[in-house]
């Protein structure tokens, strides 16, 4: 009858290491010694190395490499009954005792550094053009859902009424620019390399500005429509455009004053595409009639006037 000893599993593990190379570490504990009854039984640990080089080690020569690992660990570690760690390297077996472990509270985690390096490869930079024409960069993981980027922008703007807004893919070269889908991974929607460029825009327009509860939300709507009128995306009759521009000036400059607003004070402003001569005078005339309106009231009147436009809230696309 063949008697199976405690040393057989150790020899099998050593043989496996010889075949697979030096990327496997053997470790032993005091409890292993008590269980084996024949010395230090080495426990197989599937790690790729030590967390930090030790100050002192005992190395076997290559000619002694094939001495049974348990016997060698017993001979080197049994004097003081210390746990030891053995590793197969190109120069032979190396045994390190617990005496040379890191002090308490100190560690070097190789895995953490690898994760940090991997995180750099998965992070992407998204440059978001806000409605006030400022550009704000955000770093997100490309494997995250689009909602993660949306929430990051909302937190930056401190928006509470978020259902009306979205991110337009500015990198999209198609005739029909797409919106960032909050339910799909970012990497599947942003095809080009980092940094990516997106526009923060109003996605859903309300028929009545009174439905917007927050003044800051109405301000974002005001900025959006002012951009659409200036770019020609929202066609506007000449008279209505002059009235809208006067509300925008009242919101920005306040009440009209002859001392503070001399003739030509609107020469640096652009309100509509291909702005004709004499348009500034019409805007100034309307501006004089808005004395007493606060910025919030001026923006509300702007929205209330813009909603009567024929193409308000309509997004046009090219037909194929």
Task: Summarize pLDDT for 91-119 with one digit per residue, the tens.
Answer: 666 555 544 455 555 655 555 555 555 55
CA-wise closest residue to 72 among 131, 125, 11: 11
Furthest C-alpha separation in the chain:
115
**What's the mean pLDDT when you consider all of the chain?**
75
Contact 200, 164 (CB under 8 A): no
Percentage of the chain with pLDDT > 70?
A: 59
What is the tens place of the pLDDT at every residue in 220-264?
Answer: 999 999 999 999 999 999 999 999 999 999 999 999 999 899 999
Contact 21, 80 (CB under 8 A): no
CA distance 107 to 189: 40
Instruction: Identify the helix (H) or strand (E) that includes residue 107.
Output: none
| Sheet strands side by side (includes 135-141) | 135-141, 123-129, 196-202, 165-169
Comparison of pLDDT for 188 and 57, the residue scoring more: 188
pLDDT at 250: 97
Give the distance from CA 129 to its chain's centroid: 16
Q: How far apart are the first and last CA of the chain?
A: 86
Residues 6+ apart with CB under 8 A from 106: none
CA distance 238 to 260: 27
Token output for 285: 């005339």
Pinpoint the alpha helices (H) of the chain. Answer: 8-20, 30-36, 69-77, 110-122, 146-157, 215-231, 238-253, 279-287, 295-306
CA-wise closest residue to 157 among 124, 182, 132: 132
Percentage of the chain with pLDDT > 90?
A: 49
pLDDT at 50: 44
What is the tens place of the pLDDT at every residue in 13-49?
Answer: 444 444 444 444 444 444 444 444 434 334 444 344 4
pLDDT at 75: 59
Token output for 109: 């985690």
pTM recorded for the entire structure: 0.62
CA distance 256 to 220: 24
What is the tens place of the pLDDT at every residue in 66-87?
Answer: 555 556 555 555 554 445 555 6
Residue keyed to tokens 């039984």: 41
Token output for 95: 């045994």
Contact 212, 222 (CB under 8 A): no
Which DSSP category does 101 fall into?
S
DSSP string covering 108-169: --HHHHHHHHHHHHHEEEEEEE-TTS-EEEEEEETTSBHHHHHHHHHHHHT-S--TTEEEEE
Contact 85, 100 (CB under 8 A): no
């Amino acid at each position: 009858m063949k008697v199976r000893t405690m040393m057989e599993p150790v020899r099998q593990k050593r043989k496996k290491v010889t075949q697979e190379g030096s990327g496997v570490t053997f470790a032993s504990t005091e409890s292993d010694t008590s269980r084996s009854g024949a010395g230090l039984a080495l426990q197989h640990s599937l790690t790729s190395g030590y967390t930090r080089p030790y100050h002192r080690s005992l190395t076997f020569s290559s000619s002694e490499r094939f001495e049974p690992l348990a016997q060698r660990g017993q001979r080197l570690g049994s004097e003081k009954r210390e746990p030891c760690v053995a590793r197969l390297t190109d120069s032979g077996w190396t045994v390190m005792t617990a005496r040379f472990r890191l002090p308490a509270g100190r560690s070097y985690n190789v895995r953490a550094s690898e994760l940090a390096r991997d995180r750099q490869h998965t992070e992407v930079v998204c440059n978001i053009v806000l409605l006030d024409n400022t550009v704000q960069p955000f770093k997100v993981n490309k494997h995250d859902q689009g909602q993660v980027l949306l929430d990051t922008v909302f937190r930056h703007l401190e928006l509470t009424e978020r259902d009306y807004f979205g991110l337009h893919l500015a990198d999209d070269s198609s005739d029909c620019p797409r919106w960032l889908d909050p339910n799909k991974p970012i990497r599947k929607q942003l095809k080009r390399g980092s940094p990516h460029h997106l526009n923060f825009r109003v996605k859903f327009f309300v028929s009545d500005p009174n439905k917007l509860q927050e003044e800051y939300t109405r301000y974002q709507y005001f900025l959006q429509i002012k951009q659409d009128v200036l770019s020609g995306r929202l066609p506007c009759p000449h008279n209505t455009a002059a009235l809208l521009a006067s509300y925008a000036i009242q919101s920005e400059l306040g009440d009209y004053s002859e001392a503070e607003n001399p003739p030509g004070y609107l020469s640096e402003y652009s309100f509509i595409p291909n702005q004709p001569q004499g348009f500034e005078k019409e805007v100034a005339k309307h501006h004089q009639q808005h004395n007493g309106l606060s910025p919030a009231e001026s923006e509300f009147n702007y929205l209330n006037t813009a909603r009567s436009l024929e193409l308000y809230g309509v997004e046009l696309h090219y037909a194929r």
